[in-house]
Amino acid sequence: MTTHAKLAVWVSQMERLCRPDRVVWLDGSEAEKTRLEAEAVASGELIRLDPARHPGSFYHRSAPNDVSRTEHLTYVCTRNQDDAGPANNWLSPAEGYRRGEEIARGSMSGRTMYVIPFSMGVVGSPFSKIGVQLTDSIYVALSMRIMTRMGRPVLEQLGADGEFTRCLHGKADLDINRRLILHFPEDNTIWSVGSGYGGNALLGKKCLSLRIASWLARREGWLAEHMLILGVEDPQGRVEYVTAAFPSACGKTNLAMLIPPEGFRAKGYKVWTVGDDIAWLRLGTDGRLWAVNPEAGFFGVAPGTNSRSNLNAMAAMRRDAIFTNVVLTEDGSVWWEGGDGPGPRAGLDWQGRPWHPGQKDAQGRPVPGAHPNSRFTAPARNCPCISAHWEDPQGVPISAIIFGGRRERLAPLVYEAFDWNHGVYVGATAASERTAAQVGTLGEVRRDPMAMLPFCGYNMADYFAHWLEMGRRVPRPPKIFHVNWFGKDEDGRFLWPGFGDNFRVLEWILARCRGEARARETAIGYLPGAGDLDLEGLRLPAGAMERLLAVRPEEWRAEGEGVKAFFGRFGARLPQELWRQHEALQQRLDAAARPSRR
Ligand code: GTP
Ligand code: SPV
Ligand code: MN
């Protein structure tokens, strides 16, 4: 199947370890897709949806204990523990392979092992990375078809001796106690066993394009980030691009596909999607940062997605999509909480149990039909607002980088960092409330630097240093901002309407990049005054804007304590510059808290 001797040797080694009944190399053809779909339907792994309403689309349920990434079972295996750093779980490579082997050994007996050559980024671009994933899951194989470029052209690109990431994936017995997601960056290898879900199993996504890629990026002088990429077209037809890093389930897909408010649309503003989850950023020949989306599809959060909140996502999943852990309706369609319409008369919930909207448990609490982290998998080319440049090999030039998170209090709607290094501090100190995208306590605030805490494949202190270094190397760096769509009032209601109205903030950000918008200087950065955002057509409760743009020094001082404790974990490896930024902020906060002497 391949002229690549190392690849052939590795595949047969893994075959001897996992003992599948047969090995099938995937070429990416339509005929192969049809065959895999038929097999998956026959085995019950996929359910075909009503072909009239959902052409080419399928339904899948993962095991009930396997519905989100398991960060506590995710490891970076380096020879020195310090190279993985305090923010990663660590095993020595020898111990990682030993534990992985124990679970993988013989685990594919009675099953087929699929060999999937895939490219992150367009095939043949010098910036793309090739992986080969072995998997015993047809669901994973068909999802990789949507999420990556795969098959024969990739194998041809790889040639007889090209570099590739070795990605072994096996479901094993889907037992959470026998599940490990292991990264061996020194060997360019990923082993994932015991899970069939999303970021645990689609190894091109978080495992390769962030954990392994971030490691490579540091060595090669670029950035691999958990960021969406979008373009804003103004009425003159000029398009400017931004990237935004928000933690999982904090609004990347929604922002990437945003439809501007009516008034802006009437003037001719448009948003174009380049990517919704991952960005690879490099220095371009013009001295700017350029970004590519290495993926070919969207693996988006279903709940809350509807024709009002995200019409473009709804269109993207209209055909050739896979739905995971949502409600399966009795007439072969799908539904989820916050989806279109009131829901089906009857259906099956994400665990396959009879379910109807309004269902309550024994304690009278509503029972959701879809898992909160249920997802749709859809080809990017289906998206009506996909950018004409989304497959440009060199990417798109970036004007602004936005960090953000989910904070009920503290973080204002938007602020701008003073300069690159301060922006790195803003990113490094970002925090967010935990969502359903990972196992753990919902709502708990955790520090999530650059939204990369679960995804940085090396010591985060070195990662911060690398960001600072990039600032020195990029002659025309983007401006850096922080946003928070999730501020709440005392009654727990969102202060900001979010979604399409986030365009108002984007517009201010881009105007700042052009040197055109006004701002006031505060201790934490530049903020718009209440009149500096274009709020035409938006009716907010009295005082809402003042609250959304308030900076309360006492609260930021308290936050500073958390930052200090977090930075402290990295010891002497943390760049001094971040401590300098921290001290400078504390001094500005002190000055802001003192009554003005002027
Ligand atoms: P991952 O795919 O896990 O990386 O998530 P993501 O960052 O792409 O998040 P996504 O856009 O899917 O949004 C997750 C949840 O946040 C959904 O339930 C959305 O409805 C909600 N959400 C997105 N944008 C906004 C917003 O501007 N305001 C509010 N209040 N909620 C939002
Ligand atoms: C995330 O959790 O950030 C996702 C979904 O985008 S997963 O592919 O599971 O990582
Ligand atoms: Mn994500």
For the stretch 184-222, pLDDT in tens is: 999 999 999 999 999 999 999 999 999 999 999 999 999
pTM across the whole model: 0.97
Q: 262 pLDDT exceeds 80?
A: yes
Q: 598 pLDDT exceeds 60?
A: no
Q: Cα of 250 to ligand 1 centre, how many Å?
A: 4
Q: Cα of 39 to ligand 1 centre, how many Å?
A: 34
Pocket-testing residue among 139, 147, 277, 305, ligand 2, by greatest number of atoms within 8 A of Cβ: 277
Q: What percent of the chain has pLDDT over 90?
A: 95
Q: Cα of 248 to ligand 2 centre, how many Å?
A: 6
Catalytic residue, from 167, 207, 250, 385: name it: 250
| Nearest partner of 457 among 209, 105, 132, 130, judged by Cα | 209
pLDDT of residue 529: 93
Residues β-bridged to residue 76? 90, 183
Task: Name the token pair of 581.
Answer: 């930024």
Secondary structure letter of residue 69 according to DSSP: B
DSSP three-state, residue 281 = strand
Q: Cα of 206 to ligand 2 centre, how many Å?
A: 7
The number of the ligand 2 atom at minimal distance from the alpha carbon of 247 is: 3
Task: Name the token pair of 378.
Answer: 């859809």
Report residue 433's pLDDT band, with 50, 70 and 90 as the boundaries.
confident
Among all bound ligands, the one having the nearest atom to the CA of 438 is 2
Task: Name the token pair of 357.
Answer: 């909207």
Give the mean pLDDT of the chain.
Answer: 96
State the CB neighbour count (10 A cutoff) for residue 469.
15
Q: What percent of the chain has pLDDT over 70?
A: 98
pLDDT of residue 475: 98
Ligand 2: which residue has its CA nearest to atom 1? Answer: 248
Residues 167/204, Cβ–Cβ less than 8 Å: yes
Among all bound ligands, the one having the nearest atom to the CA of 312 is 1
pLDDT of residue 1: 77
Among all bound ligands, the one having the nearest atom to the CA of 301 is 1
Cα–Cα dist 549/414, whole Å: 7
Cα–Cα dist 306/253, whole Å: 13
Residues with CB under 6 Å of ligand 1 are: 246, 248-254, 276-277, 300-301, 303-304, 309, 437, 485-486, 494, 498-499, 502
Buried/exposed code over 322-335 (b: 16+ C-beta within 10 A; e: otherwise)? bbbbbbbbeebbbb
Residues 318/509, Cβ–Cβ less than 8 Å: no
Q: Cα of 227 to ligand 1 centre, how many Å?
A: 13
Secondary structure letter of residue 65 according to DSSP: T
Question: Which ranges of 3-151 does DSSP label H, i.e. alpha helix?
Answer: 5-18, 30-43, 81-84, 93-104, 138-147
Report residue 445's pLDDT band, with 50, 70 and 90 as the boundaries.
confident
Among all bound ligands, the one having the nearest atom to the CA of 300 is 1
Q: 36 pLDDT exceeds 80?
A: yes
Pocket-testing residue among 248, 435, 453, ligand 2, by greatest number of atoms within 8 A of Cβ: 248
Q: 595 pLDDT exceeds 90?
A: no
Report residue 597's pLDDT band, with 50, 70 and 90 as the boundaries.
low
The CA distances from residue 526 to 241, 400, 411, 520, 521, in Å, are 21, 14, 13, 5, 5
pLDDT of residue 2: 87
pLDDT of residue 373: 96
Per the annotation, the verdict on 250 as an active-site residue is: yes
Averaged pLDDT, 159-188 = 98
Integer-rounded Cα Rg, in Å, for the chain is 24
Cα–Cα dist 427/520, whole Å: 21
pLDDT of residue 276: 98
Ligand 2 contact, 211 CB (< 6 A)? no
Pocket-testing residue among 227, 243, 254, 414, ligand 1, by greatest number of atoms within 8 A of Cβ: 254
Report residue 447's pLDDT band, with 50, 70 and 90 as the boundaries.
very high
The number of the ligand 2 atom at minimal distance from the alpha carbon of 277 is: 6
Ligand 1: which residue has its CA nearest to atom 22? Answer: 251
Residues 75/88, Cβ–Cβ less than 8 Å: yes
Ligand 2 contact, 447 CB (< 6 A)? no
For the stretch 376-387, pLDDT in tens is: 999 999 999 999
Burial class, 16, CB count within 10 angstroms (exposed 0-12 / middle 13-18 / buried 19+)? exposed
pLDDT of residue 255: 98
Ligand 2 contact, 423 CB (< 6 A)? no
Q: Cα of 226 to ligand 3 centre, how many Å?
A: 6
For the stretch 40-95, pLDDT in tens is: 999 999 999 999 999 999 999 999 999 999 999 999 999 999 999 999 999 999 99
- Sign of the CA dihedral 394, 398, 403, 406? negative
| Nearest partner of 596 among 561, 553, 546, 532, judged by Cα | 553
For the stretch 87-140, pLDDT in tens is: 999 999 999 999 999 999 999 999 999 999 999 999 999 999 999 999 999 999
pLDDT of residue 436: 72
Q: 441 pLDDT exceeds 70?
A: no
Ligand 2 contact, 252 CB (< 6 A)? no
Cα–Cα dist 26/151, whole Å: 6
Residues 177/193, Cβ–Cβ less than 8 Å: no
Residues β-bridged to residue 164? none
Ligand 1: which residue has its CA nearest to atom 18? Answer: 304
pLDDT of residue 63: 96
Q: Cα of 302 to ligand 1 centre, how many Å?
A: 10
Ligand 2 contact, 434 CB (< 6 A)? no
Residues 430/405, Cβ–Cβ less than 8 Å: yes
pLDDT of residue 299: 98
Strand 58-60 relative to strand 322-324, pairing: parallel
State the CB neighbour count (10 A cutoff) for residue 176.
14
